[in-house]
Amino acid sequence: MPVNSIKDTRIELFGNVMDNPVIPASGTFGFGYEFNDWYDVSILGSIALKGTTLEARYGNPLPRIAECPAGMINAIGLQNPGAEAVRDVELKKLGKVYPKKVIANVGGHSFDEYVRTAKILDSADEVFCIELNVSCPNVKGGGMAFGLDAGILEELTRAVKNEVKKPVVVKLSPNVTDITVTARAAERGGADGLSLINTLVGMRLDLNSARPIISVKRGGYSGPGVFPVALNAVYNVREAVSVPIIGMGGVSCAENVIEMMYAGASAVMVGTQNLIDPFACKKIIEELPKVMEKLGIDRLSDIIGRAHNA
């Protein structure tokens, strides 16, 4: 019997049953339908939409990407067409090629902006949960500041939770002394789940001019080099909170997915690897049953948090 027919890769997140735990991370997969030119995106467990703000944003000036060993630095700056355009245009385009529910990623510069944006996307039938981007290191004001202050993060989470019906996931920054502090704050604010980690803060300098390569000087460092940091964060947060965790950070292969789930992740997002290889998520999904067979795993849902009982 083929391996694929006897290995159960399904997981459940907030009542939404997914064929597999693999989700392209926000900002690395556009609005999803663009990748359908490369392969049938309906195989994906879900899709985290590009970060969305209340009004359209052009993003940061060029250059806003710099290569690094084992990864990259980006400072895109949440370029997007605005919440209503995402709901009324982008989600409709995606729906033509992707029949499953997706995750809406919300950013902002004030409580009011977060709440209003979340409410707009909360009204979309295609969305099953709202991810609050409170940890973006390349947008001035809002975002990152909210994610670094536990008290403000708790208040922001509560403000959004009070106004939306769908589950709220808070995306945590690794750029703190102890990520479990902000994790607990988000949980106290009513978060239904957490996603982590967002990018680390990084910089590259031009050897000829000695100036920062990125126009806004610093950006978010991501890629395979951050995987051990991300895995440690997921492991620690799993021991600190009781809500589901979506793990991410340097995930590039099926083995990384298994490690993240061992550490406590219920689902796993793939980010920078999509920019390196547009077939990354497809390859990971196809490899998962083979890795499960090698490791003696019959159901992925059985291994969530296994490292804490090993």
Report the relative pairing of strands 65-68 and 71-74 from DSSP bridges. antiparallel
- The answer to whether 136 is a known catalytic residue is yes
DSSP bridge pairs for 220? 74, 201
Cβ proximity of 186 and 148 under 8 Å: no
* SS3 state of residue 285: helix
Element (H, E) at 245: strand 245-247
Given a contact cutoff of 8 angstroms between Cβ atoms, the answer to whether 44 and 23 are in contact is yes
Asked if 303 and 309 touch (Cβ cutoff 8 Å), the reply is: no
Instruction: Give the active site residue among 129, 136, 253, 281.
Output: 136
CA distance 266 to 276: 25
Nearest to 48 by CA among 146, 135, 156, 126: 126
**284 contacts 22 by C-beta, under 8 angstroms:** yes
Q: In whole angstroms, what is the distance from residue 140 CA to residue 60 CA?
A: 10
Cα separation, 300 vs 188, in Å, equals 29
Q: Choose among 197, 18, 94: nearest CA to 104.
A: 94
Task: Fill in the DSSP letter of residue 31.
Answer: T
Q: Cα 54 to the chain's mean position, in Å?
A: 19
Residues forming the active site: 136
